[in-house]
Amino acid sequence: MERTFVMVKPDGVQRGLVGEIISRFEAKGLKLAAARLELLAEERVVEQYREHLEKPFFPGLKAYIMSGPCFLTVWEGRDAVAVVRRMIGATNPAEAAPGSIRGDFGLDIGRNVIHASDSPASAAREIGIHFGPAELIEYSKIDEPVLYE
């Protein structure tokens, strides 16, 4: 099974969308492996978004991510990275399909509710930034036999 990192950003937390987002992933059949509500330290925000450090929007992005609590999660399932990316929708909510998280809850690219890893390599890197190995819970869900062949 594959793991992926998902973060509900401050706008999603402030708008009370954490429960709805968790429900969507659980209803899909993904397994929650770790979760924490946290105000992120600058060092971790910089590491999380290091590919954007030199871009003109980075200072605003950093300030926004640090403006309030984020809900950090790790989800597990077959092809979890691709499944979650489809569920969250396009980065720009105006281009996100209805039914996706951003399509249903986002209006602005700068306040797009949620972040999710875009590849298995990114997932491993991002999980390592935010969670230690002991925080990742291994368990079997009772519904796994009906979810997978």
| Residue carrying the six token digits 């690219």 | 109
| Residue carrying the six token digits 């590491």 | 47
Residue type, 70: C
Distances (CA, A) of 121 to 43, 70, 117, 127, 135: 20, 22, 9, 10, 19
- By 3-state DSSP, what share of the chain in percent is helix, strand and coil, each rounded to 5? 45, 20, 35
Strand ranges inside 11-146, DSSP E: 31-38, 70-77, 114-116
Annotated active-site residue in 115, 116, 130, 131:
115
SS3 116: strand
130 given a catalytic annotation: no
Instruction: Name the residues annotated as catalytic.
Output: 115
